[in-house]
């Protein structure tokens, strides 16, 4: 879809009843409050918000994916990961059935750090849900200096050094998430995606972002309200005396 058509499409969407057009700033702020409401200051709630925001602002339906998962996230407060198992060959991270929306950033920190030190890192992420949460981080690795190949049961993704956006391919049958990150592209086994057509290329993601930045994002009113309902938990009820807490 070219940029112009996408722009018209997005503008038109906002006219449809039950959709609300919101800016990037509003969405990021809302998501930040949502994660703050759920996890308090025990976790990097701003980074969690950024994870979902990246997906939504690049056309990967981050909000819908989060909304599906919210009841579960809201119910399970203990999202601490057990220490990773690190061998010479592979790092294994057990997410204990949890969602990567809450931990993708910690895993990425580890992978990028190990890759910087050793040149190449192979990672197996087991018992994890929502692998989409990793996509946005692939392009942010150290000024885009690393190459990554991610294989999951939902999609596979590849990014070469210097690129800001990963190319998304169809899923491969794989029960765990396998991720190879390298300083050198030629150290990555690309046989899985060789000769495959991308499902989403970098141009499509970039165009979506630019159009959405210009016009705002259209999200469902219902989802917007669900998010606000949680976000509002960080607010303190107002009383006569609390009003004095901001002046007379």
Partner 1 sequence: MAELKPLSKNTDLPMRSPKTVMELPRLGCLYPYPLSFMRCLLRRVMSEMWEINGTIFNLDEEGFGEVVYEITTPNAVYSYVIFSKKLSDSKRSDRVIAEDWDMTVTLCEGQIDQDRLEFLRKNVPLQEKGRVDSKCLVLSRANKSMRNFEYVIDCLSNGKQPDLDKIAKVGYIFRTTAVYGSGKFGMSDWDNLRKKYVDFAKPFSAEMFSCYMIRHFSLELANWVARGRSPEAAVELDDGIKRYIGIGNATGLGMAPYLIKHPMLIANWIEVRETSLARIIQYKSPDRDSLGNLECLIMKAAQHLDEISTDNPEQNVLNNRAVNEVNKCLEWIKANNETLVNWQELIDHASQNYHVETQELINAILTEVYAKFILDLESELNIDENYRMQPMMKLNTLKSLIEKNYKWALRYDFTKSSSTETFWYRSEEKQEPRLGKKSLDSGIEKEMMMCIARDVRSCFDEICEIEGSNTSITVAHFAFSRPHLRYIIRRIQTMGLTQYGEIRANLLDADVLPIHLLRCKLSFFGVGKFDPRSKKWVRNTMFQGAPLVSDIGNEYTDTWCFPIRPKSSEKLN
By CB under 8 A, what part of segment 141-160 binds partner 1? Answer: 143
- In whole angstroms, the minimum distance from the beta carbon of 209 to partner 1 comes to 10
Q: Of 40, 128, 30, 120, which Cα lies nearest the Cα of 81?
A: 128
Quick one: which segment of 18-26, 65-73, 124-132, 179-187 binds partner 1 (CB under 8 A)?
Answer: 18-26
In the complex, minimum distance from the CB of residue 116 to partner 1, in angstroms, rounded to a whole number: 4
The rounded distance, in Å, linking the Cα atoms of 149 and 189 is 8
The yes or no reply on residue 2 touching partner 1 (CB under 8 A) is no
Q: Does 110 contact partner 1 by CB under 8 A?
A: yes
Q: Contacting partner 1 (CB under 8 A), which of 3, 26, 188, 220?
A: 26
Q: Any contact of residue 88 with partner 1 (CB under 8 A)?
A: no
**String of contacts with partner 1 for each residue 45-84, x by CB under 8 A:** xxx--------------------------------xx-xx
| # binding residues, partner 1 (CB under 8 A) | 51
Helices 45-57, 62-75: axis angle to 10 degrees equals: 150
Report the run of H or E that residue 107 belongs to, with start and end.
helix 100-118
- Is residue 184 involved in binding partner 1 (CB under 8 A)? no
Q: How far is the CB of 206 from partner 1 (least distance, A)?
A: 14
Return d(Cα 167, Cα 147) in angstroms, integer: 12
Angle between helices 202-215 and 45-57 (to 10 degrees): 100
Which CB sits closer to partner 1, 10 or 150?
Answer: 10
Three-state DSSP class for residue 157 = strand
Q: What angle do CA 172, 176, 180 make, to 5 degrees?
A: 80
Phi, psi at 179, each rounded to 5°: -135, 125
List the one residue from 3, 13, 21, 129 that touches partner 1 (CB under 8 A): 21
Q: First-to-last CA distance in the chain?
A: 54
The strand pairing partners of 181, in sequence order, are: 121, 148
CA separation, residue 129 to residues 42, 61, 154, 183, 208 (Å): 21, 16, 10, 27, 25
Nearer of residues 15 and 191 to partner 1, judged by Cβ: 15
Q: Determine, following the binding rule CB under 8 A, whether residue 120 of this chain makes contact with partner 1.
A: no
Kindly list the residues in this chain that would bind partner 1 in the complex (CB under 8 A): 14, 20-26, 40-47, 80-81, 83-84, 103, 105-106, 108-110, 112-114, 116-117, 140, 143, 213-216, 232-238, 241-243, 245-248
């Amino acid at each position: 879809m070219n940029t112009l058509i996408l722009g018209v499409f997005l503008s038109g969407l906002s006219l449809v009843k039950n959709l609300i057009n919101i800016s990037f700033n509003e969405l990021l702020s809302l998501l930040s409050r949502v994660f703050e409401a759920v996890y308090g200051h025990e976790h990097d709630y701003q980074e969690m918000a950024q994870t979902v925001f990246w997906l939504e602002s690049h056309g990967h339906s981050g909000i819908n994916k989060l909304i599906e998962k919210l009841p579960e996230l809201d119910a399970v407060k203990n999202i601490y990961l057990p220490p990773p198992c690190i061998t010479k060959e592979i790092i294994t991270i057990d997410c204990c059935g949890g969602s990567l929306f809450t931990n993708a950033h910690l895993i990425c920190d580890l992978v990028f750090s190990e890759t910087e030190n050793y040149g190449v890192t192979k990672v197996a992420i087991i018992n994890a849900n929502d692998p989409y949460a990793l996509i946005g981080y692939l392009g942010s690795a150290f000024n885009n200096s690393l190459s990554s190949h991610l294989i999951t049961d939902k999609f596979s993704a590849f990014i070469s050094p210097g690129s800001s956006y990963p190319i998304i391919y169809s899923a491969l049958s794989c029960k765990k998430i396998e991720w190879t990150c390298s300083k050198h592209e030629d150290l990555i086994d690309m046989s899985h995606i060789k000769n495959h057509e991308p499902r989403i290329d970098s141009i499509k993601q970039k165009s979506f972002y630019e159009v959405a930045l210009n016009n705002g994002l259209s999200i469902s009113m219902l989802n917007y309200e669900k998010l606000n309902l949680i976000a509002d938990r960080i607010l303190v009820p107002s009383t006569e005396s609390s009003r004095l807490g901001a002046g007379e």
